[in-house]
Structure 1
Amino acid sequence: MKYTHRPLFFRYLCQCLRFIRDFFPDAFRLHELFDNPYASSMKEETNALYRLLLPRFLKRVQHEMPYAEELKQAKQKGVLIYVVPAIGQLEYHCFAHFFRQHGLPLPTFVTDISTYIWMKWNRLKSYLLTQCELLESKGEIPGPITSGFLRERVAAGESVMLRIPSTYLADDALFSYQAEKRIIETLKAYTPDRPLYFVPIDFIWDRRPTKEKKSFIDILFGEKDDPGSLRKGILFWRNYKRHALIRLGRPLHLEVEQDCNLHLRATDIRRHLVEVMNIEHRTISGSPLRPRHWFLEQVLSDPHLEKQLETIAIENRKPIEELSELAKKYIHEIAANIDYNVIELASRLFDTVFSSLHENFHVDQKQIEELKQLAATRSVVLVPNHRSHLDYLILPSLLYKHHMSLPHFAAGKNLSFWPLGPLFRRGGAYFIRRTFKGNQLYRAVLETYLKLLIKEGYSQAFFIEGARSRTGKLAPPKLGMLSMLYDAAKHVQKDLVFFPVSFTYDRVLELGSYINELEGAEKQPENTWALMKLIRFLKHKDPRYGNVHIRFGTPVDTNTIPGDHHNPVEYLAYQLCDEINRHVVVTPLSLVATALLSPGKRAITSEMIQKRVLLYLDYFQEKQILLAMSLTRNARSATATALKQCIERKMVLPHTDQQTPFYEIPDDQRLTLDYIKNNSLHFFSKISLLANILQARWGWSGGEPGFTPSERPKYRECGFTPHERIDEYIFLARLFAREWCANGKEISSADIEPEIAFLQKNSEALPLFAELTRHFFEAYSLAASLKASFPELPNAQLIKLMRETGEKHLLLGKKHHAESLSKALLENALTSFSLLHYSDSSALKKLHVTLEEYL
C-alpha cells in the first residue's frame, strides 16, 4: 500500500529542493529523519491558527464514556486501538481534545488524516523535508502498513486509531480490504503479555434519529451519519453545543491464537467491530424515524385489520366503507407525530420548569447505560409507576438528556386537549381512550398500531397503574395495555423487554388535589384552565418540592415467562410491580412521616422521632433497601431537615416552649403525612403484619411502648414460631394485598424468617411496627361491618356512609387513625372482599370480628 496523500505536491516540492541545492548544497538538510513520517500523531503541538479557531468549540462538544473504569483497566493492561467508522479534521481534533481532557492515551498514528495545517512551522518544515527525503531516496513514500510503521507503533505499546467503515457495503471486498489490512498489521504486534483492546469511538453529528426517507440534501451533501465536508461544517456549527456527541464504547479484548490465519481472524474482527459500532450508534439515535402519514397508511392497509373490518361489518350489519372511515378516524386520534424540533424546544422549557419545582433529579447512570444497550438491540417497553403529571414529562426529558431517542408513550385521551395535546403528540405520545370495552374496531386499530411499533423496533412506555396513584402507594396493575402489547409481540413474533421504572418524589405537585379526592371530592378533569392554574407553582424562586429519584429495575423479558403459567400477562404485571416497588428510594421525608404517624397519637417528641427513624434505618439496611443519599451520609441531619420542612408546610405544629419539646400532628394533615409515608410503606408490609399478629397474641393494648427494656415475654415463651403463625400471616397478607400490590405468590415460613429475627432482636419496638398498618385494620373492619349491614347499598353510597360513621368513631375514640377513612383505602377494602369471596353478611361479620381482635 503506497502512501498517496498529496503526491503531486511532494513531486513539485522535491524539484524545488533540487534546484535550491544546486546553488546551496546544505540548504534544507535534516540531520536525522523523523521515525514518524506521517503527520497524524495527536501528540504534536499545535500552532496559533489552531488555538485561535478550534478550542472554544471543542470544549462544548458533549461526550459519553460509560465504561470509564474498564478503559482505565485496559489502558494499564495493554494497548488501546481506537476504532472509528469515519474521520475528518473536525472529528480528529474533537477526539484529541477529549483524550487529553480524560487522560486517555493519544494515538501516534491515525489512518486517513494529516495535520500539516495545524503544526508549528519548525515541525511542519521537518515533516515536509522527511517526506521529500523518502521520496528522493526510495522513489515513493512508503505506506504505514508496507513500511511496518503501524505494527511497530503498536508493538512499542503506543495507541493508534483505525478507520473501519461501518456501512452497508462493509462486506464488499472494495470497502473491506483496507480495513482488514490495518487490522492484520495490528494483530501482528499482539503478544499475550501485552493484549490489544479495540475501543469503538464514534462522533455523532446529530443525535436525533435519522429519517427513513433520504432527502435531496442527503444525496447531494452526504447523510448526517457520514456527511460531506460542506455539510459537516454546517452540522458542527449548528450542533456542537447540544447535539454533537462523542461516545466511547466498551473496550473489546479480542485474542489472537498462535498460528491462526490472520486474514480470517481480521475478517471476523472487522465484522464484529462493525456490528458493535452500529449498536453503539443505535444507543444514541434509535430506530430510523418514520413520518406520521406512513403509520396511518400502514395501519389502514394492514391485511389482518382488513379481515377484522370484514368480520365486524358482517356481525354488525354495517357497510365496510363506513367502518373504514371510522378506522381512519380512530388511527388519526391515536397515532403519535414525533418532531424533534418541538422536543428540543420543550426540553429547554422543561429544564426551567423542573429547576423551579425540584432541587435535584437522582438517577443511576449504570441503569441508564443498561437501558441504552438493550434498546439498541431489542424492543423495549418502559413501565413506570404513576405519581404525578410530571412523570410523562420527566421520563422523556431524562432519556433525551442522556442521549436516547424518545419512546412512544401511551397517554390517556383526556390529555389530548389544546395546547398540551398537540405538543405531547409531537413528543411521542399516542392517545388511547380510558375504556373501549365492546368497541371491537377501536381495539383492532389500536392493536395494529402497537404491532407496527413493535415490528419497527421503536421503544414504548406506559403506566402500569393506568392512572396516577392518589395514595402514594403503587396501585394494582391494569392489565389491558400490557395484554395488548403482549399479544401484539406474539403476533409479529418478537420478544419484548419490559423495563420497570420507579419514581420517588419528596413531594408531588398535585398532593392537595389528591387529599381532596381521598376525603371524598370528585376528580377534576384535565383542561386548559387547570393547566393555567399550575403556573402559580412556578412563581417561587426556590424549589419547594424537594428531590426526585428515578430508578430502573431489572428488565423482564417475555421469553422468561413460564410456559405453563395459567395467566402470563398477570404474572408479567406483578413481576413488574415487584421491581417497581423494590426500586423505590426511601427518602428522609417519608421516614419522618412514618415516625410521626407511628404512635397513633396527636403528638410526638423530637427524641422519639429520631429513635424511630434510626430503628427503621436499621431495618432497611438489613434488608438492603435503597436509601436516599442524604440518609446514608448523615441520617440525623437529613431527619432534622425533613422535620423542618414538615414544620414549614404546617404538616406538624412545634411546641418548643415546654420542658420536653414535642410536635403536634393536626387531624387535617394526617392524610397528607400518610401519603408521604406510603411511598415506603410496602417495605414494612411483612414486619408490620407479623408485629400485629404477635401483639394480638401477647394481649398488648397499645400505648406508648418506649425504647427501654421491659419484662415482656419472649417469642419462644409465647410458643410463637414462623411455622405456627404462617397461616395467620397468609390470611392478612392476602386480605391487604391491594395495599402494596402483592403478587399473590405462595408464601412459606422461610419468607418471614428475616422479619421474625429482626423482631426478636428488637422486641421492645414491636408496637411501633404494628402501628404502621393499624389504620388498615380499622378501615377494613369498618368496611366489613357496614357492608354486612347494608349489602345492597351501591359502593359509592356505602363509602360515603363509611366515612360518616368513621368520623363519629374518631370523635368517640373508637378509632384512632383519621387516615383509615381514606376513600381509596375503603375502596380497596370492598374490592378485596369481592376478590376473596366475602359475599354474604355472615362471612363479613365474622371478618369484622377477626379484625377487631387486632385492634
Structure 2
Amino acid sequence: MKDEICQAVLAREEVVRFLQGGHGETAEQARERVEGYLDELNTTQRYGLYRALKHPVYPILRKIARHVEHIDRVQAAVARGRVIYASNHKSHTDYLVEPLVLDDHGIRPPIIAAGINLFGGPLGLLHRHVTGAIPIRRATKDQAYLVTLKAYVAELLREHDLLFYPEGGRSYSGELKPPKTGLIHAAMQSETRNLVILPVAIAYDLVLEDRSLSRQGVKRRQRPFAREVAEMMRYAVGYRSRAFVSFGEPIATGAYDPHSRTDVLELAHRTRDAIGRLYKVMPTALVARAMRPSISRPDLEARVDGLLEALRAGGANLAVDSGRQAVSEATRPLARRGVVVVEAGTYRVRNRALLRYYARTIEHLLPAAGRAH
C-alpha cells in the first residue's frame, strides 16, 4: 500500500498498539486484517471526472429540482477550516443531490461515507476511483475494522471534507432516526484544527424509492445496490420532485472531549436536533399528516392550518404558508403516486403505508400528542 493516508494510518498510535496483537490473534494476523480493511477503505476523488458524472445520471437528476438554503454558511465554514457535513438520509438520490448542490456553488464536494452495499460492480469502481466514497460496514463489532476505520477517517480529514449520515442508513419508516456515534467519534479523535460539523437537511416532495421503503417499514436485510437501482429506475417513471437542501450553523467539535462518552453523545444529539430543525416541511408531509380515511377538501385544509400553527410556533422550516397552499401543491403528486384518490372534492386514502411514511417525516417536529402512528 503506497497511499500516504494508509501509511499514516499504520503509523497512528492506536493502530500500532492494535498491531501488537493480543486480541486472540498474532501480530501478523492483526496486520493482515488491518491492511485488508485499509485496501477496502482506500478511495480517490477525481474531481474533473466527478463533475462529468452528472451527465450519465441526468435522466434522474432532471426529475429533481434542487433548492438550496443558507449556502453562505457553507462558504464561510470551508473558508475557515475542515468541514464534516452531517445529513439526514431519505434516499439514494441524496448522494447525488447534496454534492451537486455544493458543486453548483463552486464548493468542492466532500468524500462520502456510504454503506458497503453501494460498492459492488461498476458503481463500486466509480465510488472508489471517481466520486471518492468510503464503504462503511454498519453494525459491525470487529475491533480490527473499528480501529482501522476511525484511524482512516482521522487521516482523511487532514486532506478532505467528509459527508456522512448520522442515522446510519435511510429511514424506512420516514421519521428522523436517532444518531449513531461512530463517525462523529472518529472525527473528534482526529484532533483536526478548526473542525466543524455542518448540519444538513434534505427534504423531497416525493422520495424516489418511497414504495420499497414504506413497504418494509424497517430494514430487514442488506440488498445488493444493483437491485435497488433497478427498482429505483422503475419507480422513476413519471416521478417529479423538488429537493430542498438546507445548511445549518457550524458546530465546533473542539468544545467536546473525544474521550468522554457523554460529550460524544451530546455532540451527536446536538447535530441530530439541528438537522431536525432545518428539515423543510413539505406540503406532501403536511397533507399526509392531516389526512383521514375520507375527508373533504375544506376540512383537510383546516387540519393542515392547525398543523402549520403548531409547527410555526416551534420554529419549523415551512415550505408553505397555509392549508390551502399545502393541499393545492400536494394533491397532484400524492394522487399520481397513488397515496390518495380525489373524487368530487373528497380525499380518500389509497395507500396507507405510503401515507404514514410521509406523515412521519415531520414527526420529530410535532408534540407527542400530535404524532402519527
- Write the distance in 2 (CA, Å) between the matches of 1:604 and 1:588: 17
Distance in 2 of aligned mates of 1:422 and 1:292: 19
Q: Where does residue 16 of structure 2 map in the other structure?
A: 306
Shift of 1:651: 2.1
CA contact (8 A) 2:41 2:135 kept: yes
> Is 1:394 aligned to residue 82 of structure 2?
no
Equivalent of 1:423, from 126, 129, 139?
126
Contact 2:67 2:245 in 1 (8 A): yes
Q: Deviations over 1:361-409 (max 9, x none)?
A: 1112xx2222122123222111000111111221112112211122121
Q: Report the Cα distance in structure 2 between the residues aligned to 1:564 and 1:305, rounded to whole angstroms.
A: 17
8 Å contact kept, 1:505–1:547:
yes
Q: Per-residue deviation at 1:565?
A: 7.6
What displacement does 1:463 show? 0.5
Q: Aligned-pair distance for 1:328?
A: 2.0
- How many pairs align? 372
Partner of 2:371: 773
1:525 aligns with 2:198: no
Matched, 1:293 2:3: yes
- The reply on whether 1:506 has 2:205 as its aligned counterpart is yes
Q: State the alpha-carbon separation in 1 of the partners of residues 100 and 258 from structure 2.
A: 37
Q: Is this contact kept in 2: 1:342–1:423, CA < 8 A?
A: no
What letter matches 2:317 in structure 1?
L
Name the structure 2 match of 1:696.
none
CA contact (8 A) 1:292 1:335 kept: no
Letter of the structure 2 residue corresponding to residue 316 of structure 1: G
Matches within 5 A, 1:309-388: 309-310=19-20, 312=21, 314-318=22-26, 320-355=27-62, 357-358=63-64, 360-364=65-69, 367-388=70-91
Cα displacement (A) at 1:462: 1.0
Q: After superposition, where does 1:484-499 map in structure 2 within 5 Å?
A: 484-489=186-191, 494-499=193-198
1:663 to 330, 347, 364: 347
1:648 Cα deviation from its structure 2 partner: 2.9
Aligned equivalent of 1:558: 253
Q: Which amino acid aligns with 2:190?
A: A
Distance in 2, matches of 1:435 and 1:563, equals 21
Partner of 1:468: 170
Q: Does residue 594 of the first structure (1) align with residue 255 of the second (2)?
A: no
Give, as a single letter, the amino acid of the residue that structure 1 aligns with 2:324.
Answer: R
User: Distance between the aligned counterparts of 2:136 and 2:33, measured in 1?
Assistant: 15
Q: Percent identity?
A: 27
What is the CA distance between 1:334 and its match in structure 2?
Answer: 0.6
- 3-state DSSP class of the match of 2:347? strand
* Larger helix share, 1 or 2: 1
Match of 2:301? 610
- Aligned partner of 2:233 among 522, 532, 535: 535
Alpha-carbon distance, 1:610 to partner: 1.4
Indicate conservation of the 8 Å contact 1:592/1:609, yes or no. yes
Which whole-Å CA distance do the structure 2 matches of 1:505 and 1:682 have between them?
16
What is the distance in 1 between the residues matched to 2:133 and 2:80? 22
Identify if the C-alpha distance between structure 1 residues 561 and 305 changes in structure 2 by more than 3 Å, giving closer, same or farther. closer
* Contact 1:387–1:472, Cα closer than 8 Å, also in 2: yes
Normalising by the residue count of structure 1, what TM-score does the alignment of the two structures yield? 0.41
Q: Is the 8 A contact 1:582 1:625 kept in 2?
A: yes
Deviation at 1:317, TM superposition (A): 4.7
Change (3 A) 1:614 1:533: closer
Shift of 1:303: 5.6
Aligned pair 1:642/2:321, yes or no? no
Task: Name the residue aligned to 1:51.
Answer: none
The AA in structure 2 aligned to 1:525 is: R
**Counterpart residue identity of residue 440, structure 1:** Q
| C-alpha contact (below 8 Å) 1:517/1:523 kept by paired residues | no
2: distance between equivalents of 1:565 and 1:343? 38
Residue 304 of structure 1 and its aligned partner are, at CA, apart by: 4.9
Q: Which residue of 1 aligns with 2:183?
A: 481
Q: How does 1:430-449 map to 2 (within 5 A)?
A: 430-437=134-141, 439-449=142-152
Structure 2 counterpart of 1:411? 114
Unmatched runs of 5 consecutive residues or more in structure 1: 1-290, 690-771, 776-855
By how many angstroms is 1:646 displaced? 2.6
Higher strand share: 2
Equivalent-residue separation in structure 2 for 1:521 and 1:424 (angstroms): 23
What letter is aligned with 1:618?
A: E
Q: Distance in 2 between matches of 1:569 and 1:415?
A: 28
CA contact under 8 A between 1:499 and 1:554: conserved in structure 2? yes
Q: Give 2:253's aligned amino acid.
A: T
Check 1:316–1:304 CA distance in 2 against 1; reply closer, same or farther (3 A cut). Answer: same
User: How far apart, CA to CA, are the structure 2 residues paired with 1:361 and 1:383?
Assistant: 18
1:346 Cα deviation after fit? 0.7
Distance 2:372 2:248 in 1: 30
Gaps of at least 5 residues in structure 2 are none
Q: Is the 1:384–1:580 Cα contact (8 Å) retained in structure 2?
A: yes
- Residues 314-358 of structure 1: CA distance to partner in whole angstroms, max 9, x if unpaired? 44352x344333322211101211112320221233344211x32
Structure 1 position 675, deviation (Å): 1.1
Is 1:627 paired with 2:318? yes
Give the match's secondary structure for 2:54. Answer: helix
If asked which structure has higher relative contact order (CA below 8 Å, sep 6+), I would say: 2
Listed one character per residue, the Cα deviations across residues 91-114 of structure 1 (whole Å, up to 9, x for unaligned) are xxxxxxxxxxxxxxxxxxxxxxxx
For residues 400 and 533 of structure 1, the distance between their equivalents in structure 2, rounded to whole angstroms, comes to 28
Cα distance per residue 1:390-439 (max 9 Å; x no partner): 112211121122111221211121211011111112212011212331x3
Q: 2:289 touches 2:359 (CA, 8 Å); kept in 1?
A: yes
Q: Deviation of residue 539 (structure 1)?
A: 4.8
Aligned CA distance change for structure 1 residues 639 and 654 (closer, same or farther; 3 Å): closer
Matched, 1:677 2:354: no
